[in-house]
Structure 1
Amino acid sequence: MAIVSAPGWFYYEENNKRLGEVSYLIEEKGQVLALNHTYVDPSMRGQNIAQQLVDAVCDLARSKDAKVKPDCRYAAVLFRRFDEKYADVAMEDGPNANSCSI
């Protein structure tokens, strides 16, 4: 699986069809990546694609010595479930973390 990077996005595409995506906003002069949306096509669910996309945002944050604000319910749950994995980049849940649909 190849994850593609674009400004504000990481996504997984197959045969020119986007099957998974995560978007983020850059805040606080680049010191915070607000992860605000994740989506995986139903045909691809259960393959950890969403987690891999969130991990790509976290790796980007690490490379910039930045933090990630999980402003999406999926990301917020993932950060709580695997708190040790994300402890170095995680901020408190954003204000929309409970309203984002998974």
Structure 2
Amino acid sequence: MDVKHTATEQAFTVSVDGHDGELTYARPADGVVDFQHTWVDEALRGRHVGDALAEAALEFAKKEGLRIRTSCSFVAAYVKRHPEWEQLRDAA
């Protein structure tokens, strides 16, 4: 699955079989990324598209040395299921 990051739109996107998924974020402070919303077309649900988006976004945060906030309930649940990402959480 080819997840694309578009920094100018603060989004990670994926397209599979003509259907889309998106994870959006904000940069509320220097060194912090807040994952705000994940959406996956109904036709792709159950195919781990949301997981791929979350993984790509978290890898981006790690590579860039960013602390994470998870306003998005999907990303919050993903981090809970994958505690190796907890170390990136912002204290705020």
Q: Same fold (TM over 0.5)?
A: yes
The 3 A distance-change label for structure 1 pair 52 and 14 is: closer
Distance 1:90 1:52 in 2: 19
Distance 2:37 2:56 in 1: 13
Relative to its length, the structure with more helix (as a share) is 2
Task: Give the equivalent residue in structure 2 for 1:54.
Answer: 54
What is the TM-score of this pair, normalised by structure 2? 0.84
Q: Mark the runs of 5 or more structure 1 residues left unpaired by the alignment.
A: 95-102
What is the TM-score of this pair, normalised by structure 1? 0.77
Identical amino acids, percent of aligned pairs: 20
CA deviation map 1:17-66 (0-9, x unaligned): 5510000101211x111000001111111111111111111111111111
Q: Mark the runs of 5 or more structure 2 residues left unpaired by the alignment.
A: none
Q: How do 1:1-102 residues align onto structure 2 when only pairs under 5 Å count?
A: 1-7=1-7, 8-14=10-16, 17=18, 19-29=20-30, 31-83=31-83, 85-91=84-90
- Count of aligned pairs: 90
Q: CA RMSD in A?
A: 1.9
Distance 1:52 1:28 in 2: 25
